[in-house]
Amino acid sequence: MSSMKMMISRAAASRLLTGATRPADSAERGVTLHRNSFVSVRKMSKALTIDNINPNILKLEYAVRGPLVIRATEIMKELEKGAQKPFKKVIRANIGDAHAMGQKPITFIRQVLACVSLPELIDKGDFPEDVKQRARDLLDACGGGSVGSYSASHGIELIRRHVAEYIARRDGHPCDWNNVCLSSGASTSIKSVLQLFCNDLGGKTSGVMVPIPQYPLYSASLAEYGLQLVSYYLDEASNWGLSVDELERARGAALTAANVRALVVINPGNPTGQVLTRDNIESIIKFAHKHGLFLFADEVYQDNVYAQGSKFYSFKKVMTEMGAPYDELELASFMSVSKGYMGECGLRGGWVELVNVAPDVQANLYKCISAMLCPSVLGQAAVDCVAKPPAPGEPSHALWLREKTAVLDSLKQRAQMIADTFNQMEGFQCNIVQGAMYAFPKITLPPKAIEAANKEGKLPDVFYASRLLEETGISIVPGSGFGQYPGTYHFRTTILPQEPLLREMLDSFKTFHANFSKEFA
Amino acid sequence: MSSMKMMISRAAASRLLTGATRPADSAERGVTLHRNSFVSVRKMSKALTIDNINPNILKLEYAVRGPLVIRATEIMKELEKGAQKPFKKVIRANIGDAHAMGQKPITFIRQVLACVSLPELIDKGDFPEDVKQRARDLLDACGGGSVGSYSASHGIELIRRHVAEYIARRDGHPCDWNNVCLSSGASTSIKSVLQLFCNDLGGKTSGVMVPIPQYPLYSASLAEYGLQLVSYYLDEASNWGLSVDELERARGAALTAANVRALVVINPGNPTGQVLTRDNIESIIKFAHKHGLFLFADEVYQDNVYAQGSKFYSFKKVMTEMGAPYDELELASFMSVSKGYMGECGLRGGWVELVNVAPDVQANLYKCISAMLCPSVLGQAAVDCVAKPPAPGEPSHALWLREKTAVLDSLKQRAQMIADTFNQMEGFQCNIVQGAMYAFPKITLPPKAIEAANKEGKLPDVFYASRLLEETGISIVPGSGFGQYPGTYHFRTTILPQEPLLREMLDSFKTFHANFSKEFA
């Protein structure tokens, strides 16, 4: 990983040395650069250089896997090689990766995956009847009875039908399976739908309203596609709720620069952990309708609701029940097998339900994804298990329910423990983690710490998170990676380390913070 | 699927009714359109319409899954519902989908997948020791010992190291694992690298040279990214070889409109089935070097070489052996588990090796893919099995070798059978299928058929393929989906149906062609 550091310093060097922003004579400058720079002298200038690559890619940032996380990986390697540190291991609280933090897979999902991967197990292996039947049904739905066949680009019809049934059960309203499109995790379909908005109508960039703080897939994808990010602030004081006044302000402020065409809402919230009330959802729908916005409902944490009195309402359900004219809103609702109680991030399974999308637009979206052939068929099989879990009375039901409940109960406890602990720490203020998998506390940093950060050329929250990592091995993501109200500092930590590890992490965090506060008092 | 037909006609209707191309007042026009059109009257105009979506998505076409293939799916459904047709089943010869056509999976791959999906099988199940060990090694390399954890965005380090060893063995030259990036099939990484070139340097679009005929992922992705496709024709008369004169001509012709920055070569060829000679590869490398082009070597069919005297040489190997200055060429070489002898399309595993790519460019590519989290970990596990198959002496080696050889021998026979049969048919001319999985014969269509096609508003090759589908159930892709020399007509068929089915298909094809020729004589 030390090569990564070098790359970044070379990139910085390249910009420093050339001092140029215009790409016109880049080949020539490339040569000059290579001759003068501290890296090896090149005989040939490059076809693809930092000066002539896609400028949107340069701008793109994704803090959840950014420089601090790269540094965490380096530290892990240093520890493996026997380096002496004030800690024995890195705790990866930077990413919502449940299994990596010790959560066990749901048995039913894994038994089905084993059987569809190696179909001889269906008859030879010792599996419950519903596992075998599910594997047979899935294989029947695959070309040549193999998960090695391409599926349709929007996914296997059987699974799309099961997803539609799941949505209909969840909401109490019908769902047409033709509007369900399977994907490699939610990220892929979020990007595919976002990309549809690239159109500089009347010479103005299309704008997409995104909450601040936000999950940085949105800022990264908008940068990648050259779309305008239109920030609206979540209200930390009212547990990260959405205020319509703020939505109006944000839209109004963006209008001269952009055609504001879509609104992203993440519920339950990432990184903020709130669960929107039904009333709040209704106001958002009215706002979207009033301004003719397309709604992105990022609902991947729909199973992750912990706080008493909190309940998940899908945007689809609420707008359907609001009736005309709100039930005609264009909506894309995203779901994933990476989160919830299953935490199957590595399998890459997800879906989008498209509601009220113009049929010809939807046909074009399906056409576009067809060039990518299909999402992982094993990921789709996992989606099937999530959309249609073992039903009461079926042999796998009891175990499935026990495992699911245990995961969600434990997450609920951890959600509370982490917020309580932070709120006992001086200078910390942490909203209740009502849902999702993260706490996003606000920290008051002493002026001397901010000064020290400035000296190192770091943002204060990056400085804090960086010190935490180097001194305790705890990997978190600074609030600036998600966006935060100017002058405030936050960080995101997952609630995913299993309980003993989480206690250890919080103890270590407390000690660090006390020392840090003393040092910069 | 009938809804798909309606979508397309609505899109066409939209364009006809409005007659407009400027998107400025699209919302208003949307209303007008809906009031006047034959579809239901809408109360609310759409935020996202065919007139205001990303225009690049409208342009994008991917014939391998285009309208004819959609029609093939409709026909399958009609047959299921008992419709009477002159045939009993659809033969999907449109897509390189080996398992769907009856090819059996490689046992070693599937045993490993079953074990990593359900680790209790490692001890409980009856598996060879090398399968168990591989599963343990892979799980050790996963966070928390689960394939449900995210991996690094460029893939699991252990697997990247195995891929690097595979490439080093293949070429006889070293490969740095840091330059290997795993992906969800080759398509994802091809798109990621192509996207780097989006930069209108000096007001000119970046151009990418693509063979005609080509695999339509290239034309689709270039359209999606707004890059300029610079066509060079393969020479059908010299078995689809690349002529440097033609490369020069194509580049020269494009220079006023585009900065020609990259060259795509597909070897073995898709759809054309040629295997480039070493001499030809050397000339291409010299051409790329002369003009400072970045080389895309699509080498996903590197295991699929059948013809006597043909041999696969990787571009990396040849340029390395050519020495300076050619060994400094920037190269991205793509590979997939979907093709070869494994045919594991549904698992979505692949990789790209980056050679001589500027470190800061590579860091930006890795940053960009990090927002997509990671490729399917089970797909990566399949990559591992392909990069590091059972070695001689290991318990699974004999079976693995037998299965691999059987697949490749059978493909070789089918490659020959299909070209021989086509060459016996009047008006057909088919080059030897030296490699890959396709035949791309040229057909001479009678003038009356061309006239009939024109009357139906269809391209003549689409007309032919469409008649073939409706009358025999054989699904092929018209040459126009890949590009072809003006005035010539071709189609692509896979060589993948298993031998009895392939015989049946060719017999049925012969009868159809005889009738077709008679009808339009």
3-class secondary structure for B397-430?
A: HHHHHHHHHHHHHHHHHHHHHHHHHHHHCCCEEC
Chain B CA closest to residue A368: B57
Does A151 score more than 70 pLDDT? yes
User: Which distant-in-sequence residues (6+ apart) come within 8 Å of A165 by Cβ?
Assistant: A175, A387, A388
Q: What is the pLDDT of residues A190-211, one digit of tens each?
A: 999 999 999 998 899 999 999 9
Q: CATH 3.40.640.10 residue ranges in chain A?
A: 150-380
What is the pLDDT confidence band of residue A64, given thresholds at 50, 70 and 90? low
| Burial readout B149-163 (b: 16 or more C-beta within 10 A, e: otherwise) | bbbbbbbbbbbbbbb
**Greater confidence, B22 or A221?**
A221
Interface check for B359 against chain A (CB to CB < 8 A): the answer is yes
Chain B CA closest to residue A14: B360
**Greater confidence, B3 or B406?**
B406
What is the pLDDT confidence band of residue B372, given thresholds at 50, 70 and 90? confident
Q: What DSSP string describes B113-149?
A: HHHHHSTHHHHHS---HHHHHHHHHHHHTSGGG-TTS
What is the least distance, in Å, from the CA of B124 to any CA of chain A?
A: 10
Of B72, B75, B458, B53, nearest to A359 (Cα)? B53
Q: What DSSP string describes A128-147?
A: -HHHHHHHHHHHHTSGGG-T
Interface check for B377 against chain A (CB to CB < 8 A): the answer is yes
Chain A CA closest to residue B155: A346
Which of A48, A188, A364 faces B357 most closely, judged by CB atoms? Answer: A48
Summarize the confidence of residues B13-28 as an average pLDDT. Answer: 31
The angle subtended at Cα A250 by Cα A249 and Cα A253, nearest 5°, is 80
Q: What is the pLDDT of residues A306-319, one digit of tens each?
A: 999 999 999 999 99
- Tell me, what's the pLDDT at B38? 37
- Tell me, what's the pLDDT at B330? 98
| DSSP label of A243 | P
- Tell me, what's the pLDDT at A11? 36
Does A20 score more than 50 pLDDT? no
Interface check for B117 against chain A (CB to CB < 8 A): the answer is yes
Q: What is the pLDDT of residues B122-152, one digit of tens each?
A: 998 789 999 999 999 999 999 999 999 999 9
Chain B CA closest to residue A155: B346
**Residues of chain B positioned with their CB less than 8 A from the CB of A371:** 60, 62, 65, 187, 216-217, 220-221, 224
Q: Is the dihedral of CA B380, B381, B386, B388 positive or negative?
A: positive
**Residues of chain B positioned with their CB less than 8 A from the CB of A195:** 54, 57, 224
Q: What is the pLDDT of residues B440-498, one digit of tens each?
A: 999 999 999 999 999 999 999 999 999 999 999 999 999 999 999 999 999 999 999 99
**Subunit contact A47:B368, Cβ cutoff 8 A:** no
Does B13 score more than 80 pLDDT? no
Substitution target in B121, B150, B263, B365 with the highest count of A β-carbons within 10 Å is: B150
Interface check for A261 against chain B (CB to CB < 8 A): the answer is yes
Q: What is the pLDDT of residues A337-386, one digit of tens each?
A: 999 999 999 999 999 999 999 999 999 999 888 888 899 999 999 999 99
**Subunit contact A361:B53, Cβ cutoff 8 A:** yes
- Select the highest-mean-pLDDT range: A22-31, A62-71, B5-14, B271-280: B271-280
Chain A CA closest to residue B374: A346
Interface check for A16 against chain B (CB to CB < 8 A): the answer is no
3-state class (DSSP) for residue A83: coil
Which of B73, B92, B346 faces A377 most closely, judged by CB atoms? Answer: B346
**Residues of chain B positioned with their CB less than 8 A from the CB of A3:** 178, 359
3-state class (DSSP) for residue B323: coil
- Tell me, what's the pLDDT at A78? 95
d(CA A61, CA A66): 7
Q: Which fold has domain B107-140+392-402?
A: Helix Hairpins (1.10.287)
Does A334 score more than 70 pLDDT? yes
CATH code at B63-102+403-519:
3.90.1150.10
Q: CATH 3.90.1150.10 residue ranges in chain A?
A: 63-102+403-519
Does B16 score more than 50 pLDDT? no
Chain A CA closest to residue B45: A292
Of B236, B225, B237, nearest to B262 (Cα)? B225
**Residues of chain B positioned with their CB less than 8 A from the CB of A111:** 118
Q: Which CATH number fits domain A150-380: 3.40.50.300, 3.40.50.880, 3.30.70.580, 3.40.640.10?
A: 3.40.640.10
CB B397 within 8 Å of CB A44:
no
- Tell me, what's the pLDDT at B44? 60
A-contacting residues of B 34-73, CB under 8 Å?
A: 42-50, 52-58, 60-62, 65, 73
Chain B CA closest to residue A111: B118
What is the pLDDT confidence band of residue B424, given thresholds at 50, 70 and 90? very high
3-state class (DSSP) for residue A233: strand
Does B154 score more than 70 pLDDT? yes
Question: At residue A488, what are phi and psi to the nearest 5 degrees?
Answer: -105, 155
**Residues of chain A positioned with their CB less than 8 A from the CB of B142:** 99-100, 346
Q: Which fold has domain B151-387?
A: Aspartate Aminotransferase; domain 2 (3.40.640)
Does A396 score more than 50 pLDDT? yes
Report the percent of chain B where pLDDT is more than 90. Answer: 86
Summarize the confidence of residues A441-467 as an average pLDDT. Answer: 96
CB B94 within 8 Å of CB A399:
no
B402 vs B106, B341, B358, CA distance in Å?
Answer: 10, 11, 42
Which of B53, B57, B328 faces A43 most closely, judged by CB atoms? Answer: B328
Q: What is the pLDDT of residues B57-113, one digit of tens each?
A: 988 887 767 788 889 999 999 999 999 999 999 999 999 999 999 999 999 999 999
* Bridge partner list, B331: B295, B355
Of A514, A449, A378, A359, nearest to B12 (Cα)? A359
Chain B CA closest to residue A199: B54
- Tell me, what's the pLDDT at A218? 94
Does A24 score more than 90 pLDDT? no
Q: Name the average pLDDT for chain B.
A: 90
What is the least distance, in Å, from the CA of B88 to any CA of chain A?
A: 17
Summarize the confidence of residues B182-199 as an average pLDDT. Answer: 95
Which of B153, B373, B378 faces A376 most closely, judged by CB atoms? Answer: B378
Question: At residue A334, what are phi and psi to the nearest 5 degrees?
Answer: -110, 145
Substitution target in A209, A300, A372 with the highest count of B β-carbons within 10 Å is: A372
What is the least distance, in Å, from the CA of A521 to any CA of chain B?
A: 37
Q: How far apart are the first and last CA of chain A?
A: 35
Substitution target in B54, B56, B260 with the highest count of A β-carbons within 10 Å is: B54
CA B314, chain centre distance (Å): 18
**Subunit contact B110:A118, Cβ cutoff 8 A:** yes
| DSSP label of B326 | G
d(CA A394, CA A111): 15
Give the tokens for residue A69.
């996380």
**Residues of chain B positioned with their CB less than 8 A from the CB of A143:** 92, 97, 99-101
What is the pLDDT confidence band of residue B23, given thresholds at 50, 70 and 90? very low
What is the least distance, in Å, from the CA of B447 to any CA of chain A?
A: 32
Which of A117, A216, A348 faces B117 most closely, judged by CB atoms? Answer: A117
Task: Note every long-range contact of A324-329, with CB atoms under 8 Å and residues 24 or more positions apart, other chains counting.
Answer: A324/B43, A325/A289, A325/B43, A325/B44, A326/A285, A326/A286, A326/A289, A327/A356, A328/A356, A328/B42, A328/B43, A328/B44, A329/A285, A329/A288, A329/A289, A329/A295, A329/A355, A329/A356
What is the pLDDT confidence band of residue A14, given thresholds at 50, 70 and 90? very low
Q: What is the pLDDT of residues B289-346, one digit of tens each?
A: 999 999 999 999 999 999 999 999 999 999 999 999 999 999 999 999 999 999 999 9
What is the least distance, in Å, from the CA of A376 to any CA of chain B?
A: 5
d(CA A26, CA A20): 9
